[in-house]
Amino acid sequence: MDTTLQDPLVGQLLDSRYRIDGRIAVGGMATVYRAVDTRLDRVLALKVMHPTLAADATFVDRFIREAKSVARLSHPNVVGVFDQGTDGSYVYLAMEYIAGCTLRDVLRERGALQPRAALDILEPVLAALGAAHRAGFVHRDMKPENVLIGDDGRVKVADFGLVRAVDTVTNTTGTVLGTVSYLAPEQIEHGTSDTRVDVYACGVVLYEMLTGAKPHSGDSPAQVLYQHLNEDVPPPSAAVPGLPFALDELVASATARTPDIRPYDAVALLARLREARAALTEEQLDAVPPQARTAAHDNAEDRTSVIPRAARSGRLPLPTEDGQGGEDALNRTSVLATPPPAPPAAPGRAARRRFDPRRRMIAVIAGVLLVLGLGTGIWYINSGQFTKVPPLLAKTEAQAKQRLDDAGLEVKDVKRTYSDTDKRGTVMGTDPAAGERIRQNGQVTLTVSLGPETVKVPDVKKLPLAEARKELKNSGLAPGMVTKKFDEGVKKGAVIGTDPRAGFTRKAGSAVALVVSKGREIETPDVTGESEADATAELEEAGLKVEIDPSQVHSDEDKGDVARQSPAPGKSLAEGDTVELTISKGPPMVEVPDVTGMKVDEATDALEKAGFEVDKDRGLLGLFGDTVKDQSVDGGDKAEKGSSITITIR
C-alpha cells in the first residue's frame, strides 16, 4: 500500500509557495518530501519537522542551525539549503533535490563493494566533511543514509541537522545525539564531539562498504554501545579475506578508540585515503568481494537516535519508537522514550513443570497410547517423542539454557573456547546443531565463547619494518598504522616504538601502530650554480643520494652547472634520500635586434631590452660620432641571453 496517500501534506501548498508532490523518506525527527517551488518553478526537497517536535524549541533551533550552517558551506559535495521557514505547526527546510539513491540503498542491494567503489564514494564524502570541518562545523551523524548518490554519479552529504560548532560540547542535558552504529566512543562516554567523531563514523562506513556489514552488532543498542567503548573495529580483511593491508590500516586509523590516534579531521583522513589508494594495484582495487556477508536491513534502518545517558553503560535496554527493544532500536531516527518496566520474572523450573500445558498434554497422550495399543505406541516412540534443537547462536549462556529448558531439553556440558568473532559469554555452537532432531529430554552440549585471546605486545624496537610486522603477526596481533619520524639513534627503516608499548596486553588480532625511523635528519644543501661534479660530491658527503635529470634546461646558470634541485634547498630529508639535479644548458638563445643606423642611445636601449649587455667601439673615427655603423652579431641572428654585443660607432 502506498502510505504517501495517507500523508496530509501530499498535494498541499506549504507556506503559499511549495507544492508537495510526494514523500521521499521518513525519519524520527522529520519527513522529506519532493516538492516544487512555485515561484522559481524548480524541483526541490522539502524537509518538514514532525509537528510533535516543532513545539520543542531545542529541535526548532537545530533545524534553523542546519539551514544556517549548510548555507555557509558552498561545496559541490554538500546538499545545498535554499530556504527555511514555518507554516502554522510545520517547520521546514527547502533543500537541493538529488535524483538517485542513498549509500544505504546501494549496500542493501549489492552488499560489499569493490575497494575502488568504496574509495570513490568515501573520497567526495571526506571532501564535503573537510569543508565543514575547516569552516568550524562537525556533522555528528555520518552514516550511509546521509550519503546521496545522484543518477549522474555525484556524491553528496546530507542532513546537517545535528551539526555543531567544532569547539562546543555535544550535550549537557543527559542525552547523546547520533546513530548508535556510528557513534565514536567519546560521544557515548563523555558526550563530546569534535571533528574526530566524523572521522570515526567515516571509518565505520568504510568498513561497512568493504564488508557489507557493520563492525559491531547486538540484540540491543546497549550492546553496540558497549562494543564501541570496549572493542576495536576489526580489520575488514577478517570478514573479507584478501582485502589489502592498506585498507585495514585506513579503517584502523579512522576508528581508533582513542581520539588522539585518529586523523585530526576529514581533510587529514582524505590524505590517508589517497595514500592508501596509491599503494593498491589495479587488481586489488577491482577485486570482487564475496556477497555472502551482506547484512540484512529493514525499512527503519540506521536512523538517528537521542539516547538516554544511562543506556551508555548498558544498564538500560533502549526501546524503539513503539517501546520495544531489539535490533531495530539500533538504527532509528527518534527521541527514545523511557524504557518500559521490566516484565515479571519468569517462574522457576518447578513452577513451569507444574503448570506447563504442553507437559500435561504429553502425559494425556501417553495415557491414551496405553489404551490404544502397541501400533500407536510405536508411532509415539518413532516420532512423537522427538523435537528439534532450537537456534541458540549468539545467545548468552543463561538465555541458551533457558531456551533448552523451555524446549524440554537439558544441558549436557558447556565447552569454552577463544573466539575473535563471538562475544564473550555467547554461544558459538551446539551439539547436536540447531534444527537437528533430538529426543525430548535429550541433552545438548553448548560451546561458549571466551572472547578474543589476549596476548602481549612483543618488543620490536630496532627491527626492520618487515620483520616487526612479521613478529606482530606471529604474536597474534595485526600490524597497524605506520608513522615515520627522524631518529639518529635508530637506523632508517627500523622501528622506534609501538603503540601500545611492548609488554602491554591486547586481545588477539588487535592492531598495533608502528613508529619507524627516517634516520638522521639532513637539511638539504643549496647546490644550484655549482658544477655537476661539485654538487654531487657535496650532497653525497651530506649523506644523500644524487640523481641527474636527463633533460637539461636553459637557465641563467652557466652551461654544465646545476640549474635547479628537488627537493629545494633547506628541506628536511633523511639519510639516504635522493636529490634530483637538473643541469643547465646555459642561457637561452635570443634573437639579436638589428641596430645599425640607429643612434647610440636608441641602439643601446633596444639591445638591453632584448637581454644583452652592450659594448661600444668608437675608435678614432667615432669619438664624436653618434650613429651605429656595425654590430658584432648581425641582426636576426641568435646569441646567448646576457652575452655582450659590440656596436661600432662612427
Q: Which cell numbers in the block locate residue 304?
A: 538517528
Q: What are residue 427's DSSP bridge partners?
A: 448
CA 377/CA 362 separation, integer angstroms: 13
The DSSP element (H or E) to which 467 belongs, if any, is: helix 465-474
Please name the residue that has the C-alpha cell 529493514. Answer: 298
The answer to whether 142 touches 90, Cβ cutoff 8 Å, is no
Characterise 159 by phi-psi region: left (phi > 0), alpha (psi -120 to 50), beta (else). left
Number of other CB atoms surrounding residue 157 within 10 Å: 26
CA 180/CA 226 separation, integer angstroms: 10
- Write the burial class of residue 459 (CB in 10 Å: 0-12 exposed, 13-18 middle, 19+ buried): middle
Residue 350 backbone dihedrals phi, psi, to 5 degrees: -65, -40
Q: Which residue, among 323, 324, 325, 330, has the nearest Cα to 296 in the 3D structure?
A: 330
The answer to whether 117 touches 206, Cβ cutoff 8 Å, is no
Within 13 Å and on the Cβ side, how many CA atoms surround 496?
16
The answer to whether 267 touches 128, Cβ cutoff 8 Å, is no
Q: What is the CA radius of gyration of the chain?
A: 37
Dihedral in degrees, nearest 10, Cα atoms 115, 120, 124, 129: 0
Residue 196: strand, helix, or coil: helix
Within 13 Å and on the Cβ side, how many CA atoms surround 458?
18
Q: Which cell numbers in the block locate residue 49?
A: 519537522
Q: Tell me the H-state helices in 72-194.
A: 103-110, 115-134, 185-189
Q: Which residue, among 217, 182, 224, 233, has the nearest Cα to 293 in the 3D structure?
A: 217
Residue 383 CA: distances (Å) to CA of 150, 379, 389, 423, 574: 58, 6, 15, 37, 78
The answer to whether 554 touches 587, Cβ cutoff 8 Å, is yes
Angle among Cα 243, 108, 280 to the nearest 5 degrees reads 20
Number of other CB atoms surrounding residue 114 within 10 Å: 17
Q: Which residues are catalytic?
A: 141
Residue 14 backbone dihedrals phi, psi, to 5 degrees: -90, 130
